[in-house]
């Protein structure tokens, strides 16, 4: 007999049929009611055991975490809380879970405790809900781009280019770590390394995606990126997944339109397909916030917040307007900000972004036209000669979730920028080729996928929305 | 006016309307006919210019590779080869491409030449077709798993575990490369490294996927994996993408069923959605093979071959049966094989796999129940005590495209295997936990994504089916 997933069984189509189901015990009450879960859904199926019919030895092994094969008849439930249940005819314990040593007992565990058990935490409701939502978001991303004529490009992870400029990099090498070969001048001889040159883990697939956009038109990447930065915050990972669309012939306005439409659509997908998990995560967040003072609690419940983002326009504000708002706001005048904003050109810190999004506008904000000096070399210089066509999307509770720009398409302007920064043109020979041959306006952005998952699940720490987080001093599992 | 993609325009819905289109010049014939392409499809749109209406200076810039903005009226074509064309009112050259220096001229370039120009080769018909098919295959993979109740898991790229055992690894480090810190005993002190331990690039996400399968039931990974092996062949990359499903409660038979159904479905998706690109690639292969002796040409044309795989059962053969066939086959008896098969237990080489698939069975073959000694430690030992529940799928022209197994779910057997191999149990503490708590039968496999793209596109070298290939001595771009 073929087994069925618990999600299928709970749909109630097979009532009065004999069914076989595999899963893990969530709880076993009164030697009679097994709550069984197989990961296909947050919900358990209740398996009702006539304990008189089974050996004590067997019943004893039915404890939280044990893997079972259950056969019985699917019937409409007599109890509350479920529509159907299984009248058990046979139970086989595939693998027990000793209650004395199994860490995931049915009680409240701290998220910190569970982080040490990243291989088992997925067996809790919270993490299984988060990871199902994460999976749905991933699919929504691929589906959105596919339906909108984009091609998925796998840009390289190991890069020989050190001009990506987005952050500190990890070196990738097979040289002897203790006694690397040296050149005549006493430097490490990377000619003898695996790739014949110094290589690092990528910080962004953008430059390569640009090459593909300049032929396929609309492309996107969705892959891992890396930052070797010693940032021990709840919003930073050393290894994280990034989504980077890049579109030929799009200017900054079209880029903003795309990013907003994209985010709204993937959130709508999750609202539609992950209702049970989102309801659970909403309740989890409410419970967590009960212990916080009123002022620190979320203004909206999780699902309300997601609907708000999906249904309302993001506010578009120039950097110059934002600086005016910040210069004149209370926390700035009363010197409550750590970094006081006193003139145009200042880089915005997390406290400023949060003020704009959470206090002033109270909705997602797209800031654009930043000073050239605080942005990357490849961004399109505006006619004013001092701002670039950059944009950041700021989300409540998250801060920057998207960073993007129209790219500098003019060979001479780009060359001058590169030379001013002291970057060797040879490093970027192929990137410059894109401006030599058939150059055109084009734009793109990068979305930090884990920050989107954070926002969508209402979790508070980025370590809790990726299966096995990599952070300074931590690469367990 | 909003622009439209060439794919939309060619559908012919907007005839007699004024349209704007952006793209790159493929050819410009007789100072009159521009073949324009924007990457949305293999096909170009013909833009008809009345050269009397335009300046010579402008017309001169319309050469292969130039980026244009074209406005005009979409009309039914008077010429052969296309249904609609644009009667041009206005042309703007966004970026020219000097014919003297632009390498991608409309003539035949060797694949080797184009590999040196990986940032521009995507502008050729061959590479744009390959990469559109690659993108479609990626989507088909996500869609197949989503529709079948699987969750997508992002397993880590940087791993602290050196027990994955699938091959040589790349070290990831931020230590000073020339003068790394040393311990008292003179070894490199990885405690001072970014992650506080020695870390490498993953060779497989399987072990972590198993942890997730033992809670979510059905999961898959699709991400980059790495091998630091000096294999300069047409089938090996140092960085490649792998798909790794893992399913709780699946035995080896169910695993074989899944892998076969999965491959057939993604190939069907491409047959349905990439007809034009596949027809082009089929013709490319026919042209390429014209110069080969009859015996080396493909027996089936590309699309016929894909349909054959999608519609026919894979042949399932035990290792033991395969050895019998090989021992008694002509090339073995006549010592034509480099490695002669004379006894049970021999590891199969590429020449043997190809004989089985291409000569003996002439269809995809699933070999299973291999000798334990030639397979990985985590594979389920059969009751005979000498074979394991492993399976490999062999494809004509490609060789191994899938490797998988039922996993050893018994703690004691797994521990003994680990100890026999001299692996430290502490390295695998969390993997062993999966057998301590709620263990159950489970299975999975890994599919080399680039090999699937090779097979589907009919290309001959794996470097030509990934955007920026990484191989020994090569990490350009």
The string of pLDDT tens digits covering residues A215-267 is 999 999 999 999 999 989 999 999 999 999 999 999 999 999 999 999 999 99
> Which tokens in the block code for residue A260?
């907003």
Distance between A162 CA and the closest CA of chain B, angstroms: 10
pLDDT recorded at residue B298: 86
Both B274 and B364 in one domain: the answer is: yes
Q: What is the pLDDT of residues B271-316, one digit of tens each?
A: 999 999 999 999 999 999 999 998 888 889 999 999 999 999 999 9
Asked whether residue A476 is domain-assigned, the answer is: no
Both B310 and B194 in one domain: the answer is: no
Contact A433 B119 (CB under 8 A): yes
Nearest to A193 by CA among A211, A180, A205, A184: A180
Residues B372, B352: Cα–Cα separation, whole Å: 19
Q: Give the DSSP H/E element, type plus range, for residue B18.
A: strand B18-29
Asked whether residue B67 is domain-assigned, the answer is: yes
Both B33 and B181 in one domain: the answer is: no
Contact B131 A216 (CB under 8 A): yes
pLDDT at B318 over 90: yes
| pLDDT band for position B163 (cuts 50, 70, 90) | low
Mean pLDDT score across all residues of chain B: 95
CA-to-CA separations, A264 to A148, A161, A311, A319, in angstroms, rounded: 14, 34, 7, 23
pLDDT at A52 over 80: yes
Determine the residue among A20, A39, A41, A167 to mutate to test chain B binding: the one whose Cβ has the most chain B Cβ atoms within 10 Å.
A39
| pLDDT band for position A296 (cuts 50, 70, 90) | confident
Q: What is the pLDDT of residues B36-59, one digit of tens each?
A: 999 999 999 999 999 999 999 999
Which one of A97, A158, A228 has the shortest CB-CB distance to B239?
A: A158
Both B279 and B266 in one domain: the answer is: yes
Contact B156 A468 (CB under 8 A): yes
Asked whether residue B266 is domain-assigned, the answer is: yes
Task: Report the relative pairing of strands A84-95 and A158-159 from DSSP bridges.
Answer: unpaired
Contact assessment for residue B17 and residue A161, using Cβ atoms and an 8 Å cutoff: no
pLDDT recorded at residue A164: 58
Contact B151 A172 (CB under 8 A): no
pLDDT recorded at residue A165: 63
pLDDT at B1 over 60: no
Q: Secondary structure of chain A in the HEC alphabet?
A: CCCCCHHHHHCCCCCCCEEEEEEEEEEEECCCEEEEECCCCCCCEEEECCHHHCCHHHHHHCCCCCEEEEEEEEEECCCCCCCEEEEEEEEEEEECCCCCCCCCCCCCCCHHHHHCCCCCHHHCHHHHHHHHHHHHHHHHHHHHHHHCCCEECCCCCEECCCCCCCCCCCEEECCCCCCCCECCCCCECHHHCCCCCCEEECCCCHHHHHHHHHHHCEEEEEEEEECCCCCCCCCCCCEEEEEEEEEECCCHHHHHHHHHHHHHHHHHHHHHHCHHHHHHHHHHHHHHHCCCCHHHCCCCCHHHHHHHHHHCCCEEEEHHHHHHHHHCCHHHHCCCCCCCCCCCCCCCCHHHHHHHHHHHHCCCEEEEEEEHHHCCCCECECCCCCEEEEEEEEECCCEEEEEEEEECCCHHHHHHHHHHCCCCHHHHHHHHHHHHCCCCCEEEEEEEHHHHHHHHHCCCCHHHCCCCCCECCECCC
Q: Write the CB contacts of A309 (distance below 8 Å, at least 6 apart in sequence).
A: A263, A264, A267, A363, A364, A395
Both A316 and A401 in one domain: the answer is: yes
- What strands, in cross-sheet order, belong to the sheet with B442-448? B151-152, B218-226, B239-248, B442-448, B399-406, B387-395, B365-371, B315-318
Instruction: Flag whether residue B477 sits within 8 Å of chain A, measured between CB atoms.
Output: yes
ipTM confidence:
0.97
Residues B321, B315: Cα–Cα separation, whole Å: 12
pLDDT at A141 over 80: yes
Nearest to A165 by CA among A214, A209, A202: A202
Q: What is the pLDDT of residues B439-461, one digit of tens each?
A: 999 999 999 999 999 999 999 99
List CB contacts (< 8 A) between A214 and chain B: 123
Both B88 and B237 in one domain: the answer is: no
One DSSP character per residue, B145-192 reads HHHTT-EE----SEES-----SS---EEE-S-SSS--B-TTSSB-GGG
Q: Percent of chain A beyond pLDDT 70? A: 99
Among B103, B136, B151, give the residue marking a domain's end: B103
Asked whether residue B179 is domain-assigned, the answer is: yes
pLDDT at A298 over 90: no
Contact assessment for residue A166 and residue A203, using Cβ atoms and an 8 Å cutoff: yes
Say whether B138 sits in a helix, a strand or coil. Answer: helix
Both A63 and A209 in one domain: the answer is: no
Say whether B327 sits in a helix, a strand or coil. Answer: helix
Count CA atoms within 13 Å of residue A358 on its CB side: 17
Radius of gyration of chain B (CA): 27
Count CA atoms within 13 Å of residue B187 on its CB side: 6
Residues A397, A395: Cα–Cα separation, whole Å: 6
The residue among B112 and A163 whose pLDDT is bigger is B112
Find the closest chain A residue to B163 by CA distance.
Answer: A477
Residues in chain A: 477
Binding-face residues of B in 103-122 toward A, CB within 8 A: 104, 118-120, 122
Burial class, A324, CB count within 10 angstroms (exposed 0-12 / middle 13-18 / buried 19+): middle
| pLDDT band for position A187 (cuts 50, 70, 90) | very high
Contact B119 A440 (CB under 8 A): no
Asked whether residue A243 is domain-assigned, the answer is: yes
Our CA angle for A314, A203, A253, nearest 5°, is 30
CA-to-CA separations, A317 to A311, A342, B281, in angstroms, rounded: 19, 19, 48
Residues A313, A362: Cα–Cα separation, whole Å: 12
Distance between A210 CA and the closest CA of chain B, angstroms: 9
Asked whether residue A108 is domain-assigned, the answer is: no
Say whether B86 sits in a helix, a strand or coil. Answer: strand
DSSP at B77: -
Binding-face residues of B in 36-65 toward A, CB within 8 A: 38-40, 65
- What strands, in cross-sheet order, belong to the sheet with A399-406? A151-152, A218-226, A239-248, A442-448, A399-406, A387-395, A365-371, A315-318
Distance between A48 CA and the closest CA of chain B, angstroms: 20
What are A393's strand-pairing partners? A366, A402
Asked whether residue B475 is domain-assigned, the answer is: no
| pLDDT band for position B164 (cuts 50, 70, 90) | low
Residues in chain B: 477
Distance between A427 CA and the closest CA of chain B, angstroms: 9
Binding-face residues of A in 411-470 toward B, CB within 8 A: 430-431, 433-441, 466-468, 470
Mean pLDDT to the nearest integer, B69-84: 89
Residues A203, A225: Cα–Cα separation, whole Å: 5
pLDDT at B198 over 90: yes
List CB contacts (< 8 A) between B436 and chain A: 97-98, 101-102
Which one of B120, B215, B476 has the shortest CB-CB distance to A128?
A: B215
Q: What is the pLDDT of residues B357-367, one digit of tens each?
A: 999 999 999 99
| pLDDT band for position B80 (cuts 50, 70, 90) | confident
Mean pLDDT score across all residues of chain A: 95
Determine the residue among A123, A156, A449 to mutate to test chain B binding: the one whose Cβ has the most chain B Cβ atoms within 10 Å.
A156
Both B250 and B327 in one domain: the answer is: yes
pLDDT recorded at residue A76: 93
Binding-face residues of B in 289-318 toward A, CB within 8 A: none
pLDDT recorded at residue A295: 84
Which one of A104, A440, A468 has the shortest CB-CB distance to B22?
A: A440
pLDDT at B7 over 80: yes
**Helix axes of B125-147 and A206-216: crossing angle, nearest 10 degrees:** 110
Count CA atoms within 13 Å of residue B392 on its CB side: 21
Nearest to B96 by CA among B71, B49, B63: B63
Q: Percent of chain A beyond pLDDT 90? A: 90
Distance between A331 CA and the closest CA of chain B, angstroms: 37
Find the closest chain A residue to B117 by CA distance.
Answer: A430
What are A69's strand-pairing partners? A22, A92
Mean pLDDT to the nearest integer, A392-406: 95
Both B187 and B154 in one domain: the answer is: no
Which one of B138, B158, B438 has the shortest CB-CB distance to A67?
A: B438
Contact A155 B472 (CB under 8 A): no
Which one of B95, B135, B211 has the shortest CB-CB distance to A151?
A: B135
Q: What is the CATH number of the domain that holds A272?
A: 3.30.930.10
Contact A173 B171 (CB under 8 A): yes
DSSP at B471: B
List CB contacts (< 8 A) between A431 and chain B: 119
Contact assessment for residue A415 and residue A436, using Cβ atoms and an 8 Å cutoff: no
Q: Write the CB contacts of B198 (distance below 8 Å, at least 6 apart in sequence).
A: B160, B162, B171, B188, B190
Q: What is the pLDDT of residues A55-107, one digit of tens each?
A: 999 999 999 999 999 999 999 988 777 789 999 999 999 999 999 999 999 88
Mean pLDDT to the nearest integer, A126-139: 98
pLDDT at B166 over 70: no
Distance between B427 CA and the closest CA of chain A, angstroms: 9
Contact A216 B39 (CB under 8 A): yes
Residues A291, A230: Cα–Cα separation, whole Å: 31
Both A68 and A146 in one domain: the answer is: no
Mean pLDDT to the nearest integer, A407-419: 97
pLDDT recorded at residue A209: 98
Both B47 and B127 in one domain: the answer is: no
Mean pLDDT to the nearest integer, B118-140: 98
Contact B467 A153 (CB under 8 A): yes
Determine the residue among A438, A468, A474 to mutate to test chain B binding: the one whose Cβ has the most chain B Cβ atoms within 10 Å.
A438
| pLDDT band for position A163 (cuts 50, 70, 90) | low
pLDDT recorded at residue B14: 85
Find the domain containing A151 and state its range. Answer: 123-161+203-464
pLDDT at A271 over 70: yes
Q: What is the CATH number of the domain that holds B86?
A: 2.40.50.140
Both B186 and B289 in one domain: the answer is: no
Asked whether residue A254 is domain-assigned, the answer is: yes
Contact B473 A208 (CB under 8 A): no
Give the count of domains, chain A.
3
């Amino acid at each position: 007999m073929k087994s069925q997933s618990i999600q299928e069984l709970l749909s109630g189509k097979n009532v009065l049929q004999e069914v076989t189901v595999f899963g893990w015990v969530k709880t076993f009450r009164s030697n009679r009611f097994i709550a069984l879960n197989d990961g296909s859904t947050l919900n358990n199926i209740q398996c009702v055991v006539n304990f008189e019919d089974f050996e004590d030895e067997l019943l004893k092994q039915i404890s939280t975490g044990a893997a079972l094969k259950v056969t019985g008849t699917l019937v409409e439930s007599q109890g509350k809380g479920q529509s159907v249940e299984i009248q058990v005819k046979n139970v086989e314990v595939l693998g027990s879970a000793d209650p004395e040593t199994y860490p995931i007992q049915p009680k409240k565990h701290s998220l910190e405790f569970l982080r040490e058990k990243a291989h088992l935490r997925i067996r809790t409701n919270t993490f299984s809900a988060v990871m199902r939502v994460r999976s749905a978001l991933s699919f929504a991303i691929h589906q959105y781009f596919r339906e909108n004529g984009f091609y998925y490009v796998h840009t390289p992870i190991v890069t020989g280019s050190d001009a990506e400029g987005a952050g500190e990099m990890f070196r990738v090498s097979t040289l002897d770590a203790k006694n690397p070969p040296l050149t005549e001048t006493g430097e490490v001889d990377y000619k003898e390394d695996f790739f014949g040159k110094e290589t690092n883990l990528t910080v962004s697939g953008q430059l390569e995606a640009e090459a593909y956009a300049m032929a396929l038109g609309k492309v996107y990447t969705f892959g891992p990126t890396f930052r070797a930065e010693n940032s021990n915050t709840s919003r930073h990972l050393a290894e994280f997944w990034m989504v980077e669309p890049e579109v030929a012939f799009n200017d900054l306005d079209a880029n903003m339109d795309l990013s907003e439409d994209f985010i709204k659509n993937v959130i709508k997908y999750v609202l539609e397909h992950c209702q049970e998990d989102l309801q659970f995560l909403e309740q989890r967040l409410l419970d967590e916030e009960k212990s916080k003072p009123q002022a620190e609690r979320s203004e909206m419940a999780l699902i309300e917040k997601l609907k708000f983002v999906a249904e309302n326009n993001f506010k578009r504000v120039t950097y110059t307007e934002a600086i005016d708002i910040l210069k004149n706001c209370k926390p700035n005048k009363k010197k409550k900000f750590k970094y006081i904003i006193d003139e145009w050109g200042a880089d915005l810190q997390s406290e400023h972004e949060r003020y704009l999004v959470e206090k002033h506008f109270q909705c997602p904000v797209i800031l654009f036209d930043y000073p050239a000096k605080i942005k990357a070399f490849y961004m399109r210089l505006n006619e004013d000669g001092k701002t670039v066509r950059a944009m950041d999307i700021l989300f409540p509770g998250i801060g920057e979730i998207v960073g993007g720009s129209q790219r500098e398409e003019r060979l001479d302007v780009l060359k001058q920028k590169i030379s001013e920064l002291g970057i060797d043109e040879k490093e970027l020979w192929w990137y410059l080729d894109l401006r030599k041959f058939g150059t055109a306006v084009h734009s793109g952005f990068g979305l930090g996928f884990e920050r989107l998952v954070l926002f969508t699940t209402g979790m508070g720490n980025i370590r809790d929305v990726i299966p096995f987080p990599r952070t300074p001093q931590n690469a367990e599992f």
